[in-house]
Structure 1
Amino acid sequence: MNAGTLARRTIGAVAGALAMTAGMGAWSQTRSCLDRAPSASQGTDFVAAAARQSPAVVSITVAGAGNEWAAAGEMSPPTRWGQGVGRGFASGFVFDPDGYILTSAHAVTGAQAVSVVTADQRRFDAEVVGIDRRTDVALLRIAASNLPVVAVGQSGEVCPGEWVAAMGAPFGFERSVTAGVVSANPRYMPGGNGVPLIQTDVALNPGNSGGPLFDERGNVVGMNSMIYSASGGYFGVSFSLPIDTAMRVADELRATGRVTRGHIGARTQPLTADLAPAFGLDAGLGALVVRVDADSPAETAGLRSGDVVLAVGAAAAAMPYAEIQERVASATQGSRLALRIWRHRAPLTVQVGVIQSVPDMPPKLVARADAHEVRFGLELTERKGVLGISLQDPGLYVQGVSGSAQRAGLRYGDALIAVNDVRVAGLADFDAAIRAIPESDTVALLVMRGANRSYVAIPPRVSKRAALTPSVRPSP
């Protein structure tokens, strides 16, 4: 099994060109860690830190997009209501009291509806302000103010061996805390897109995506993003996006709704100390070109696989990978960059044009409920169980699902037991129960899945304001 098979990444498709990063060079980060004074705290006591962050951590439910992380693995956790086809869970955290929330882009990509539950158990429909798949950042906004916010730290100061903790909703269990140590900072994924990550051994599972990673002082230093696993569940290697990067992306999404970067069409990886001798170099500095996109500025400039970009501009010394990425990403469209290249064990300089990367567009959300839906989008059938021929008990079963019911998490084979507190045994009972409930009220369906029963909420078909507004007709 190769590394690509083992990597069950929760980040969406990431295959860009030379792009933005917010990481420090490995050497400078190591130097700062050597100079760091020992912590006076115990290092493993996250009680105060968790209490500090918990009020700002939210749970996110996404309808219309399955939980890709859970689907990719081989784990079989106990089925939670609403977790399945067409519905997924994630985490997030409030960083602005006016309702701005950070979460993972892969969690909301393809969403039809996104809802947020705050720590005080208020539920809001969320707007997806913007997404950036490259860094796996999504910016949400809810109609709330004076919300508690996280304390934001500095990810560049996070050192290997330092204790950190994650908070989120693995498998839907809200505000769960797991702890571990930093394994590396920065870490670049093999074949990745040049975005630096914080590697830890903190246990992350489906539902943790988008939640905060915080240090022992209670400062958020990262946003939980992905795992590296053979099964799709926690395997001891987890990754978080540095908070410095996440906040910078959030600021741009908030200002313009999109992230734009300079890009030349050359896909690269860090030149490591192990690879350097193969190209006749002594140090693991620079960006190794692995692919050049057709019809790109890089192809026009003559770049090819196996070239090593040592520096951008007039710099005499070889640059760290992160700095090369930053120089290209910050270049404006139409400008030209001088790249110092190492090819066939000899230096040369090429001029390459810069174009703008195509920004990611947020998903188009649909209304929570449709007043014109028939039975909330449920296709139902009655099972009579005559003479014991039916393999299922008599009752009302879901044959097909769409719309509000799908967004609520119902699926084929579910049995409907009651509407609110009214038992239903057939279609006539179900229709009568629905008619008795005002369209401005939430409907609770008692559903049996396997041997388990649980109520599932269907949101109001019309808003209370619309229900209270009398229709105005022209005079005859």
Structure 2
Amino acid sequence: MNDTTPRGAFQTVRRRLLLAACAVIVTATAPAPALADLVGVLPRVKPSIVAVGTFQRTRSPAFQFRGTGFVVGDGRLIVTNAHVLPDAVATDKMEALVIAVPGADESAMARPVVRIAADRERDLAVLRLEGGPALPALTLARDERVQEGQEIAFTGFPIGAVLGLTPVTHRGIISAVTPIGIPQGKARDLNPALVRRLANDVFRVYQLDATAYPGNSGSPMFDPRTGEVIGVLNMVFVKSTKENVLSDPSGISYAIPVEYVNRLLAGAR
């Protein structure tokens, strides 16, 4: 029996319908492009990005930018890099540690914060917002490590002191999950900080196929599909340990895994 018979024609139509149904199912279940996801996610991410610095009314400029931070938890906790924070604040000269909220009116732009926790070994710090309304918070991912090749995005203030406090977003991938303490070929290449890390606490960081800039330190690295934070950008601590090329940066960027943020927050509460 061939396809010119009524039965053959019916089977042909049936096959075509099954193929069309399969195509619809595949199309419906295929993941949406990350770029399209990022367009929808960014309006939820950007309100949680803040600039970290110090404020002193009598100097010019009154606000001195030091790095990026992002809001988590109840809207009063800010995560950033420990090296972003000053060693001391001149409170006797009315200097204060603050965050600047982009887009806020002038009276609410600089808001005081206090340091409540720090992990110097992983260059992380947590600040608490003093007074005023809470800010929109980002969601932290669970502690599972991300996969090499996974797409990421991060938002912060690259060269913020020059380009201004407009949140800027970059995209890339996780190019490697690599140890922060790398054994040196010669004894003279070792330094006390590296020796401590090699002996006590070697941990892995994310190497990114994306370019970050001074000012991006403390930026949240997030999943562009969901907006969940999976790491914290680092532009000084990791690069000085792994590359020692701060005077001639390589363009490689790094991030601290979110699991260390979760641990620090758990101990701070």
Partner of 2:34: 43
Task: State which of 181, 206, 213 in structure 1 corresponds to 2:214.
Answer: 206
Distance 1:127 1:59, change over 3 A: same
Task: State which of 256, 259, 263 in structure 2 corresponds to 1:241.
Answer: 256
Amino acid across the alignment from 1:57: I
Paired with 2:144 and 2:49, the residues of 1 have a C-alpha distance of 23
Following superposition, the deviation at residue 82 of structure 1 comes to 4.5
Identical positions, percent: 25
Amino acid across the alignment from 1:225: N
Equivalent residue pairs, number: 199
Is the 1:89–1:171 Cα contact (8 Å) retained in structure 2? no
Following superposition, the deviation at residue 136 of structure 1 comes to 0.7
Q: Deviations over 1:176-226 (max 9, x none)?
A: 111111011254342542132111122211111111001122111001113
Is the 1:187–1:199 Cα contact (8 Å) retained in structure 2? no
Distance 1:151 1:162, change over 3 A: same
Q: Deviations over 1:147-198 (max 9, x none)?
A: 2100222353411111111111111143111111101125434254213211
1:47-446 matches, within 5 Å, as 47-62=39-54, 82=61, 87-112=64-89, 113-121=96-104, 122-142=109-129, 143-154=131-142, 156-172=144-160, 173=164, 174-190=166-182, 192=194, 193=197, 194-217=202-225, 218-226=227-235, 228=239, 230-232=245-247, 235-252=250-267, 254-255=268-269
Paired with 1:145 and 1:185, the residues of 2 have a C-alpha distance of 38
Paired with 2:53 and 2:221, the residues of 1 have a C-alpha distance of 20
Paired with 1:250 and 1:233, the residues of 2 have a C-alpha distance of 34
Q: Deviations over 1:269-300 (max 9, x none)?
A: xxxxxxxxxxxxxxxxxxxxxxxxxxxxxxxx
Distance 1:105 1:189, change over 3 A: same
Q: Deviations over 1:41-99 (max 9, x none)?
A: 223442222222111111111369xxxxxxxxxxxxxxxx749xx95420111102341
Q: Deviations over 1:107-130 (max 9, x none)?
A: 114141321012442320111112
Amino acid across the alignment from 2:252: V
Paired with 2:251 and 2:143, the residues of 1 have a C-alpha distance of 21
Distance 1:204 1:120, change over 3 A: same
Paired with 2:220 and 2:32, the residues of 1 have a C-alpha distance of 21
Is the 2:55–2:110 Cα contact (8 Å) retained in structure 1? no
Is the 1:206–1:233 Cα contact (8 Å) retained in structure 2? no
Amino acid across the alignment from 1:55: P
Paired with 1:41 and 1:154, the residues of 2 have a C-alpha distance of 22
Paired with 1:180 and 1:92, the residues of 2 have a C-alpha distance of 20
Amino acid across the alignment from 1:209: S
Paired with 1:245 and 1:201, the residues of 2 have a C-alpha distance of 22
Paired with 1:233 and 1:176, the residues of 2 have a C-alpha distance of 23
Higher relative contact order (CA 8 A, sep 6+): 2
Extract unaligned runs of 5+ from structure 2: 1-28, 90-95, 184-193
Paired with 1:155 and 1:51, the residues of 2 have a C-alpha distance of 25
**What is the TM-score normalised by the length of structure 1?**
0.38
Paired with 2:248 and 2:170, the residues of 1 have a C-alpha distance of 14
Secondary structure of the corresponding residue to residue 144 of structure 2: helix
Amino acid across the alignment from 2:251: G
Paired with 2:68 and 2:78, the residues of 1 have a C-alpha distance of 10
Paired with 2:265 and 2:230, the residues of 1 have a C-alpha distance of 15
Following superposition, the deviation at residue 134 of structure 1 comes to 0.6
Amino acid across the alignment from 1:42: P
Q: Deviations over 1:235-293 (max 9, x none)?
A: 331111111111211221x23xxxxxxxxxxxxxxxxxxxxxxxxxxxxxxxxxxxxxx
Amino acid across the alignment from 2:170: T
Distance 1:232 1:210, change over 3 A: farther
Secondary structure of the corresponding residue to residue 212 of structure 2: coil
**What is the TM-score normalised by the length of structure 2?**
0.65
Is the 1:88–1:107 Cα contact (8 Å) retained in structure 2? no
Distance 1:140 1:182, change over 3 A: same
Is the 2:118–2:126 Cα contact (8 Å) retained in structure 1? yes
Paired with 1:53 and 1:232, the residues of 2 have a C-alpha distance of 32
Distance 1:234 1:150, change over 3 A: farther
Distance 1:234 1:219, change over 3 A: farther
Paired with 2:144 and 2:206, the residues of 1 have a C-alpha distance of 10
